Amino acid sequence: MHILVLNAGSSSHKLCCYAVTAAAVAPQRSLWSAQIDWHVEHVEIRIRSGGQTHQESCAIAPRKGVLSRVVQTLWQGPQAVLAAASAIEGIGHRVVHGGADHQQSTVITTDVKATIDRLREWAPIHNPINLEGIELMEQILPDVPQVAVFDTAFHSQMPMVATLYPGPYDWFEQGIRRYGFHGISHQYCAQRAAQLSGQSLNRLRLIVCHLGNGGSLTAIKNGRSIDTTMGFTPLDGLMMGSRSGAVDPGILIHLMRQGHTADEIDHVLNQESGLKGISGVSNDLRAITQAIADGVPRARLARDLYLHRLKACLGSLIVGLEGLDGLVFTAGIGEHSPDVRAAVCQSLGFLGVTLNETKNSNASQDEEISRPDSRIRVWVSYTQEDWAIAQDCWQLLRPKP
Ligand code: ADP
């Protein structure tokens, strides 16, 4: 079954096409993939198929036309991998917020779209652009069933104590509660680590560290998310690239009393904080690492604070799990920064974590980096959200016996 996956973001649209034939955790290579980056005055398009990459740049144009042209290269022209548009049998969409309504992936209907729209209030950067992507694909490929895969769904079964905020109970009834995010990645990486370990996920206590520009940790017991660091919005928890993570809510009251508007506070917490806010250099850990080498003191402080907050969150989840069998690192920093992995694992040395330094320094995709004598196993797992979305899509749309 050919499944097209769309991950629609505010500054880029990522697409890929898989030929899914069976349920599989281990990721399959996509037949075709494309990325559209939207800049102020121009659009950059990169299409990969059959081992070839085609790149082009054009003047800014409406999304529908550009998306339609890129999707058509699936069956037309030199990048074509399908005989016709009709070969596409399902389209999977990453949707950031499914609220309490969507606890699993679902075939998209008018009601599902209405819910995604209603939840825009809680995910203003993501849900509108996800919904727009769904509606554009409905226009481009009107006969193809579409599936929404939610970043919140994996956390929807968290115990009540991990779901509530200790404000008035009325908050919970209004939907002000902890939802958690990055669920597609956390679930995929937990399954992948279990597969790599040769153990059943149902017997493992794991923590997945999704460390990208955004970052969150999830405690997973018997295959279920029991706690996670992001909450009502993706702003909670860890210090991130340009997001603060958790701060004393009293600071926000203080800023409001100083006359700052909600939009200003939103901008500061989401865009001007985290690694960028502390270092004054960048939200990108690579630039921070270079600045540390160049002797910039605030760059070192930013990295130290990043690790401090990460370890604090990790400690709290380990205690909640009442032990730990495995730790999984994923996303940009988790996959590519041996230094961050080593610093975290060193602080867990008292629990018997020992790293194979050579493997940690040269970790390739999906590999165990702990030593055989380590009491807690440690893996690097490259997150494959698109593959996970394609799998859910296939599960929902495949012909049932
Ligand atoms: P997003 O949350 O935007 O999907 P990614 O998962 O792509 O982010 O992670 C992006 C971050 O990963 C970058 O900001 C950078 O800090 C970090 N990163 C990527 N490659 C490396 C590397 N080789 N060394 C250290 N950090 C890296």
Average pLDDT rounded to a whole number, residues 186-213: 96
Give distance in angstroms: CA of 21 to centre of ligand 1.
32
Ligand 1 within 6 A of CB of 214: yes
Is the shortest distance between the CB of 331 and ligand 1 below 6 Å? Answer: yes
Q: What is the pairing mode between strands 224-228 and 215-221? A: antiparallel
Cα 10 to ligand 1 centroid, rounded to whole Å: 18
Mean pLDDT of the chain: 96
The H or E element containing residue 205 is: strand 205-211
If you ran DSSP here, which 8-state letter would residue 99 be given? T
Write down the catalytic residue from 37, 101, 143, 151: 151
Match 């499914």 to its residue by tokens: 98
Q: pLDDT digits over 168-184, tens only?
A: 999 999 999 999 999 99
* More confident position, 350 or 101: 350
**Residue 284 in contact with ligand 1 by CB distance below 6 A:** yes
pLDDT at 187: 97
- What spacing in Å lies between the alpha carbon of 303 and ligand 1's midpoint? 14
Q: What angle, 0 to 180 degrees and rounded to 10, lies between the N-to-C axes of helices 285-293 and 297-321?
A: 130
Q: CB-based contacts of 341: which residues, under 8 Å, 6+ apart?
A: 329, 334, 355, 360, 363, 369, 378, 380
pLDDT at 25 over 90: no
Please tell me the pTM assigned to this model: 0.95
Q: Are 64 and 136 in contact (CB under 8 A)?
A: yes
Q: Which two tokens stand for residue 145?
A: 């069933």
> Which ligand 1 atom is nearest residue 383's CA?
6
**Ligand 1, atom 13: nearest CA belongs to which residue?**
284
Please give the structure tokens belonging to residue 396: 């929902």
Instruction: Report pLDDT digits (tens) over 81-117.
Output: 999 999 999 999 999 999 988 999 999 999 999 999 9
Residue 64 corresponds to which tokens in the numbers above? Answer: 């529908």
Amino acid at 130: N
| Catalytic site includes residue 151 | yes
Average pLDDT over residues 231-247: 96
- Considering only CA atoms, give the Rg of the chain: 21
Instruction: Tell how far the Cα of 242 is from the centroid of ligand 1, in angstroms.
Output: 12
pLDDT at 365: 86
